[in-house]
Chain A
Amino acid sequence: MVEHKFIQSSGFRNVGPEGAREGFEVRIRLPNYRGMRMSLFDGVDVTVDGETFPYEQNLIRLRDQTFNLAELREAADVRWELFEWGTVVVRKPGGLTPGIHRIAVCARVRSPYFPPEFQPSFVRDERLGTIVLP
């Protein structure tokens, strides 16, 4: 099971070796009501404590596969299912300090059956999250 909120509590953590963190990651549930092929997904903007990390630079990880934006847009053979969570990997040398942070995400989703003016459409959420380990 996943949390009802789009941004999940667990999975918000620093990445890279301790003492030389390369960034952090945020766990999200599927930003859609249908399982979807990764190529319909167009990246995620992440904002932490007012600092925005744009979608073009963030990576998306599903299970054991990681995609940059160009790879994502062609990943028509990989499906993200309803009950799975995915991860946004953000580069930020030094990572985040342990404690509470305000996180906002904006997922960009292309739904071909929506009118052209909604390509992509945006799924947003905002919450407080806690980094445990430095």
Chain B
Amino acid sequence: MAGKFKYGVSLYSFTDDFGSVMNVEDGFDHVADTGATGIEILGETHVTGYPRPTTQWVDKWFQLLEKHKLEPTNMCSWVDTKLRLSRNLTVEEGAAELERDLNLAHLLGFKFLRPKFGVVTSDLVPDPIWEPAVERVLDLAHKYGIVICPEIHSPTPIKHPVVDAYIEFIERTGTKNFGLLIDTGIFQDRPLPFWPQETPEMRKTALAFLDGIKVNPEEFLDIAKYVVFVQAKFHKINDNLEDENIPWPKVISALKRAGYDGYLSSEYEGRRDPWVAIDQVRRQHVIIRQLEKDFDEGRLA
């Protein structure tokens, strides 16, 4: 039998609650109460004093992990290649951004680091400095036992030059410290409701991907050996426990058949009214846990 999933939650799920109706300590409680074993964070968002939190903050971080029986999974970071309007980052500066976040991720006990590189095209081709910048920090990542994993995120599908380039990099360097992170939003097959301030015109053009780019979950099997982490992106689970956008039975079936045994880390990205996210994450955990059970017991092929 294939391995079992590990279940986590990203604090990103509670975006907009933070700062006004929730603090990071509350976030730990909501994550742990789903039965999750892993917590994912955004360094710049959830670490007070980022990138150099105080000793007291770090002590509290480990106390909270211990209290809630959680392990740090993935820390999200950014390489802001267009940090200034006047010029792009150099390779050295890009490598320094990665080094800064590897150091912090290591300090806090994370095993995965997701850098979000600046892009140069509408279909999210990263700034070409990504490759030499990553190559310069592979030794440091190796020393820390951290896997750097850019995310494959809508509107970028699996069959795309961006993914090909990441895989070529892994093959060329032979590194174990770089892999793919799959965001399940790429499998979205039904439209999202309009976001506040979004117009029908925007949805027809630049935001057309919000109707769903409908990647066939079977394509996961083609790249599974490079995938190290999965962000279980979702947008709305209704009162009948139906996800209105992500086809979970197909997604979970493909992940299981591919032998994926890493984290499914919930990433709620729906209505941002206060207090909505907590229960949405709980609903998602019911769905994905049930589907894994169905697969393991032969009810889902």
- Chain A residues with CB under 8 Å of chain B are 1-4, 29-30, 33-37, 39-40, 42, 73-74, 76, 79, 81-83, 110, 112-119, 122, 124
Contacts and interface: CB of A to CB of B under 8 A. Distances in A.
Interface in B114-140: 116-124, 127
Contact of B82 (A2, A81, A83, A110): A110
Interface string B205-224: 01000000000000000000
Contacts of A116: 119-122
Given A33-B45, A82-B46, 10 more contacts: A35-B44, A40-B80, A73-B85, A76-B84, A81-B50, A83-B18, A112-B80, A112-B82, A116-B120, A122-B197
Interface string B17-33: 01111010000000000
B15 interface: yes
Nearest to B17: A4
A9 to B, nearest CB: 12
Of all A-B residue pairs in the complex, the 9 with the closest CB atoms, nearest first, are A112-B118, A112-B82, A4-B20, A115-B122, A35-B44, A34-B44, A33-B15, A113-B116, A34-B45
Given A116-B121, A117-B206, A4 B48 contact: no
Interface residues of B, number: 36
B19 A112 contact: no
B191 interface: no
Interface string B80-92: 1111111000000
A30 B15 CA distance: 12
Contacts of B274: 4
Contacts of B81: 112
B12 A33 contact: yes
Given A4-B21, A82-B18, A113 B78 contact: yes
B225 to A, nearest CB: 26
A1 B240 CA distance: 34
A39 B45 contact: no
Contacts of B45: 33-35, 82
Nearest to B45: A34
